[in-house]
C-alpha cells in the first residue's frame, strides 16, 4: 500500500531522513564550534535515520491497517444487514409507538369521556366505579399483552440480525 502517489515507502523514508538531517545539522551548526561539529558529524546520520524510521513506522503500520480493515468490513456488513431489515425495524418501532400513543389517549381522554358519560346516567356510583375499574383493568391487560407481543417481535428481529451478523463475521 503506497502512502502517497508521489513517494514509495523507501523514498518517503529517505525524504524524511534528508529533511531531518539537514535541519539537525543547521541546528548543531548554530550551537557548536567547528571542532565540536567534527565530533558530531556521524550523530546527524544516526539521528536522522532513527527519526525517519520512527515517523515511517507511524505512517505505515500494516498491523493497524489490517485491524482497521477488519473493523471496517465488520461495520459495513452490519450496516448492510440493518439496511436489509430496515422495514422490519421501522415496523417494530411504529408498533411500539402506537401502543404508547393508544395508552396515552385512553388515559387522557377516553377514560374521562367514559367517566363523564357514566355520571350522566342514573347508575349507582358503586356500579360505575366497578365498571370503570373493570374497563381500566381490561384495557391495561390488553395493552400489556400488545406490548409484550411487540417486544417479542423486536427481540426476535434482533436475534435474526445478530445471527446473520455472526454468520457473516465467522464466514470472513
68-77 per-position pLDDT tens digit: 888 898 888 8
Q: What's the rounded Cα separation, in Å, for the pair 111 and 113?
A: 5
Quote the pLDDT of residue 131: 92
For residue 90, give the nearest of 154, 135, 44, 149 by alpha carbon.
154
Cα dihedral sign, 46-49-52-54: negative
Q: Please say whether the beta carbons of 52 and 17 come within 8 A.
A: yes
Quote the pLDDT of residue 4: 42
pTM given for the model: 0.52
Residue 109: pLDDT band (50, 70, 90) is: very high
- Mean pLDDT rounded to a whole number for the chain: 82
Q: Please say whether the beta carbons of 15 and 7 come within 8 A.
A: yes
Please calculate the CA angle 116-121-127 and round it to the nearest 5 degrees. Answer: 90
Over residues 25-53, mean pLDDT: 75
Q: What's the rounded Cα separation, in Å, for the pair 145 and 125?
A: 30
The residue with greater pLDDT, 130 or 10, is 130
Q: What's the rounded Cα separation, in Å, for the pair 131 and 125?
A: 10
Q: Which residue has the cell 350522566?
A: 120
For residue 18, give the nearest of 39, 49, 41 by alpha carbon.
49
- For residue 135, is pLDDT > 60? yes
Residue 7: pLDDT band (50, 70, 90) is: very low
Q: What's the rounded Cα separation, in Å, for the pair 121 and 132?
A: 14
% of the chain beyond a pLDDT of 90: 24
Quote the pLDDT of residue 140: 92
Q: Enter the C-alpha cell of residue 47.
A: 539521528
Quote the pLDDT of residue 10: 65
- For residue 18, is pLDDT > 60? yes
CA dihedral of 139, 144, 147, 153, whole degrees rounded to 10: -130
Amino acid at each position: 500500500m503506497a502512502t502517497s502517489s508521489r513517494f514509495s515507502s523507501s523514498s518517503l523514508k529517505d525524504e524524511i531522513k534528508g529533511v531531518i538531517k539537514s535541519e539537525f545539522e543547521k541546528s548543531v551548526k548554530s550551537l557548536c564550534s567547528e571542532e565540536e561539529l567534527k565530533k558530531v558529524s556521524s550523530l546527524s546520520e544516526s539521528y536522522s535515520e532513527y527519526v525517519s524510521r520512527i515517523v515511517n513506522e507511524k505512517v505505515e503500520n500494516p498491523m493497524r491497517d489490517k485491524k482497521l480493515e477488519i473493523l471496517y468490513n465488520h461495520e459495513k456488513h452490519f450496516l448492510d444487514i440493518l439496511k436489509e431489515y430496515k422495514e422490519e425495524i421501522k415496523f417494530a418501532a411504529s408498533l411500539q409507538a402506537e401502543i404508547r400513543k393508544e395508552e396515552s389517549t385512553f388515559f387522557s381522554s377516553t377514560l374521562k369521556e367514559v367517566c363523564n358519560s357514566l355520571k350522566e346516567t342514573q347508575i349507582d356510583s358503586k356500579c360505575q366505579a366497578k365498571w370503570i375499574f373493570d374497563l381500566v383493568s381490561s384495557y391495561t391487560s390488553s395493552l400489556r399483552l400488545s406490548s409484550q407481543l411487540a417486544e417479542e417481535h423486536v427481540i426476535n428481529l434482533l436475534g435474526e440480525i445478530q445471527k446473520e451478523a455472526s454468520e457473516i463475521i465467522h464466514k470472513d
